[in-house]
Chain A
Amino acid sequence: MISILKSIWVILSYTFKKPVTVQYPEERPNLAPRFRGRIVLTRDPDGEERCVACYLCSSVCPVDCIAIQAAEDDRGRRYPKSFRINFSRCIYCGMCEEACPTLAIQLSPDFELAEYVRSNLVYEKEDLLISGPGKAPAYNFYHMAGLAISGKAKGQGVGEKAPVDIHSLLP
């Protein structure tokens, strides 16, 4: 009996509390940077595409919404010739972001993907690419990795030792 009156009193005290509602179209929600929204492809600090078309994101995608075609440029760098995400299938799980070895694919706090036509939700590479480095401002995969590309031989990367001479007997 007393607990019933107490709960009525608690609810009545809410008369003077502010509603928690965010009046969305007029008032924008304050979303965290790690919010899982629309997927973007970022660039490295030098302004070049990060994606190396390794297919890890499209393999890990549980709904198979990512389609990639790989290619290689004249410097020996791999890049995606086409990169297509079908946002009408995407479930925003973020597994592609976790799988990406070059931090290229990232989920952004934009969630306003409403469209009248379903086919408009298929985003091509030019729709996905952004001009900045996204959540990892300093990371440049080719500077870290021990991969030789034109302009950088093996052992010239950041914090990288010169390759071991396998023909020498000295330690």
Chain B
Amino acid sequence: MSQEIIWAITMPIIALLIPLSMGAMLIWGERRLLAVWQARRGPNRVGPFGLLQVVADAVKMFFKEDWIPPFADKKVFVLAPAIIITTILLNFSLIPWTPDLVVFDSSVGLLIFFALSSLGSYSIALAGWSSQNKYALLGSMRSIGQMVAYEVFMGLSLMGVVIQSGSFRLIDIVNAQTNVWNIIPQFIGFSVFYIAALAETHRLPFDLPEAESELVAGFHSEYSGLKFGMFFVGEYMGISLMCAMMTLLFFGGWHGPIGPDIFWFMIKTCLLIASFILLRASLPRPRVDQLIVFGWRWLLPLSILNLMITAVVVLL
């Protein structure tokens, strides 16, 4: 009995520390991986392999002036970075890292995931609006257009998975993949979800809201210090979240030949994150209209087609 109580207390803490440490490690990991793919070395001075670079960055960010522009809408300006961290951390509570390590095992987990990731776009909208800066506003406008467009078929692309496993519960979806991972029957769904996840997390090549060459830093141009740090870590945790979701939905979650469950989950998630970084290293950024047209003209019909085919196959 007491053991159960201790587990009930420690488990959420572990489940909270996993995404936080993933987000922190990604700050270092992305820079090192990008360096590998650009024939450089990346940060390798602070600590072994530059691993303490994260600590150095955090200390720097902590001691920077936390500047709120006098022309900004102060309350909203402060609220915006909190929203993105809150929604992403809440989203992580849905993720079953292993069959036991799940904070909130909801029977409609996937729907809550969609709801929360839609709420995340409020953060960017409000950040751009409250900054009273033309670049920030342009960035957040692009971001909203992108998120609204890509959320539609992000949802539709996963309906095939839901039909196959017959449940919105993430543990059920993983258990339905014991024999064959969803990526094989649902390859189209995976491709659409992957591209949509790139757009949702504002990763290159879809980082139009933060396009440095055009918009300074996009929606977080006016942010500094720890508030900027929240957006920064929030972006990396968003990547971890999307990759963890893809692992759950398409790559069989914690299923693996031998060894502990959490190990397989992490390996798959990290490989997916590396693939996100690889895309950043290799692809240029499209124009805004190209991005939106690509979404509505190709990805939406493709995801509907995938949904229909899956439905027909399952019915037969």
- Rounded to whole angstroms, the CA-CA distance of A14 and B282 in the bound complex is 11
A8, B282: Cβ atoms under 8 Å? yes
**Is the CB of B134 closer than 8 A to any CB of chain A?**
no
B39, A8: Cβ atoms under 8 Å? no
**Is the CB of A29 closer than 8 A to any CB of chain B?**
no
- Rounded to whole angstroms, the CA-CA distance of A18 and B39 in the bound complex is 6
Cβ < 8 Å to A, chain B residues 22-53 = 35-41
- Rounded to whole angstroms, the CA-CA distance of A12 and B33 in the bound complex is 11
B278, A19: Cβ atoms under 8 Å? no
Q: Mark A85-111, 1 if CB is under 8 A from B, else 0.
A: 000000000000000000000000000
- Rounded to whole angstroms, the CA-CA distance of A64 and B40 in the bound complex is 38
- Rounded to whole angstroms, the CA-CA distance of A14 and B36 in the bound complex is 7
Given contacts A11-B278, A11-B281, contact A21 B40 (CB under 8 A): yes
- Rounded to whole angstroms, the CA-CA distance of A113 and B35 in the bound complex is 29
**Is the CB of A30 closer than 8 A to any CB of chain B?**
no
Chain B residues closer than 8 Å to A23, beta-carbon distance: 41
- Rounded to whole angstroms, the CA-CA distance of A128 and B38 in the bound complex is 40
Smallest distance from the beta carbon of A23 to chain B beta carbons, Å? 7
Q: Mark A131-159, 1 if CB is under 8 A from B, else 0.
A: 00000000000000000000000000000
**Is the CB of A17 closer than 8 A to any CB of chain B?**
yes
Majority secondary structure, B binding face: helix
Residue in contact with A12 in the complex, picked from B39, B41, B278, CB distance below 8 Å: B278
- Rounded to whole angstroms, the CA-CA distance of A21 and B36 in the bound complex is 11
Chain B residues closer than 8 Å to A7, beta-carbon distance: 282-283
Q: Which residue of B lies closest to A14 (CB)?
A: B37
Smallest distance from the beta carbon of B48 to chain A beta carbons, Å? 15
Smallest distance from the beta carbon of B270 to chain A beta carbons, Å? 15
**Is the CB of A114 closer than 8 A to any CB of chain B?**
no
Cβ < 8 Å to B, chain A residues 1-18 = 4, 7-8, 10-12, 14-15, 17-18
Q: A-B pairs with CB below 8 Å: how many?
A: 34
**Is the CB of B279 closer than 8 A to any CB of chain A?**
yes
Chain B residues closer than 8 Å to A14, beta-carbon distance: 36-39
B282, A19: Cβ atoms under 8 Å? no
Chain A residues closer than 8 Å to B39, beta-carbon distance: 14, 17-21
Cβ < 8 Å to B, chain A residues 23-81 = 23
Chain B residues closer than 8 Å to A20, beta-carbon distance: 39-40
B36, A8: Cβ atoms under 8 Å? no
- The residue among A8, A11, A12, A15 with the most chain B CB atoms within 10 A of its own CB is A11
Residue in contact with B40 in the complex, picked from A10, A11, A19, CB distance below 8 Å: A19
Query: A-side interface residues toward B, CB under 8 Å?
Result: 4, 7-8, 10-12, 14-15, 17-21, 23
Given contacts A8-B283, A19-B41, A21-B40, 8 further A-B contacts (CB under 8 A): A7-B282, A12-B278, A14-B38, A18-B39, A19-B36, A19-B40, A21-B39, A21-B41
Q: Please provide the 9 A-B residue pairs with the shortest distance between their CB atoms, ordered closest to farther.
A: A11-B282, A21-B41, A8-B282, A14-B37, A19-B41, A11-B37, A20-B39, A7-B282, A11-B281
**Contacts A/B (CB < 8 Å), 24 sampled:** A7-B282, A7-B283, A8-B278, A8-B283, A10-B282, A11-B278, A11-B281, A11-B282, A12-B37, A14-B36, A14-B37, A14-B38, A14-B39, A15-B37, A17-B39, A18-B39, A19-B35, A19-B40, A19-B41, A20-B39, A21-B39, A21-B40, A21-B41, A23-B41
